[in-house]
Amino acid sequence: MARHLDGGKEIWGNVKGEMWKMRRTLLPWLHVMVPLLGIAVFLAYYSFAAWNDEGKILGYMEALTVILPLVVSVICSISAEFEESGHYQTFLGVSVCKMNPLLAKWIVLSGMGLLSILLAVVGFAAGYRITEGNTVLLMREYLILAAVMWLCSVNLYLIHLFLNFAFSKNISLCAGTAELVVAALFLTGLGEGRWQFFPCSWGSRWTEYLIQYWIGNKTAAAGDVLKILGIGAGVTAALWSVFFLWFHFYEGRQCRD
């Protein structure tokens, strides 16, 4: 019991350390400015676009989820550079449990991502209500969309932390760009039967399904939903197992960019 308590205190200490390291960087500002810029661009375009309300909402939410993998890759690259500049000394050598600094970084980055996604979704809903006089969806449904987007992005943070620590920021950014393309393509018929195995496409497909379901245009059998959730759980378990096993033997790397 004492060991578990000490481990929890150490993780919390690492979380506070991560927040302290990031407070004077661009990371907090990026999590605010990127959503606000996206909201402004889409609301300005929708002010003269000849789309119906449902199409505008769906278009914005899909665009948000499609670009999310690239944004995550940029965020993780910036965070990993902090550790690289210090030769990983404060990342790998300050905790009794080697996993705790990684868990803390994952918690902080994904937590900031949650706040950023909430701002992007709720901010757009409020702005759309003001500019167009309509919300299409209930605020509860917008909050569900934000939660789903965030849950679908959690694995992306882990993937891009791995790519940055194991290889380089260039590899991570290239992967993020490729994930953006895959997420966009898998919104079409090309994704049928495949998107469940690609975490980068989970947010866009689940967002599309939920919005279509709420506006009454599409339904899916409960069995299909359970099958998709099962595949997602299996992919998640495999990713976590491989990544944490790899990190157990990780000792840092030299910068080759």
- For 167, phi then psi, to 5°, come to -125, -95
Does residue 117 form part of some domain? yes
Does residue 205 form part of some domain? yes
Does residue 44 form part of some domain? yes
Does residue 27 form part of some domain? yes
C-alpha to C-alpha distances, 162 to 24, 60, 135, nearest whole angstrom:
24, 29, 39
Confidence (pLDDT) at 156: 95
Q: Could you tell me the two tokens for 35?
A: 């959503």
Confidence (pLDDT) at 224: 78
How many independent structural domains does the chain possess?
1
Provide Rg for the chain, Cα atoms.
Answer: 19
pTM comes to: 0.88
41 lies in which domain range? Answer: 2-248
Confidence (pLDDT) at 147: 95
Give the span between the Cα atoms of 92 and 83, in whole angstroms.
9
Does residue 255 form part of some domain? no
Confidence (pLDDT) at 90: 63
Confidence (pLDDT) at 207: 92
CB atoms near residue 18 (< 10 Å): 22
Does residue 127 form part of some domain? yes
DSSP 184-234: HHTTSGGGTTTGGG-HHHHHHHHHHHHHHHHTTS----HHHHHHHHHHHHH
Does residue 101 form part of some domain? yes
Q: What is the DSSP letter of 24?
A: T
**Helix and strand totals (H; E) in the chain:** 9, 0
Terminal-residue alpha carbon distance, the chain: 44
Does residue 126 form part of some domain? yes
pLDDT in tens, the chain (257 residues): 444 445 567 777 778 877 887 877 888 888 999 999 999 999 999 888 888 888 899 999 999 999 999 999 999 998 888 777 666 666 665 665 767 788 888 899 999 999 999 999 999 999 998 887 777 788 999 999 999 999 999 999 999 999 988 888 899 999 999 999 999 999 888 878 889 999 999 999 999 889 888 887 666 555 578 888 999 999 999 999 998 888 877 776 554 44
**Which positions ≥6 away from 196 have C-beta within 8 Å?**
202, 228, 231, 232, 235
Q: What is the DSSP letter of 133?
A: S
Give the span between the Cα atoms of 120 and 124, in whole angstroms.
6
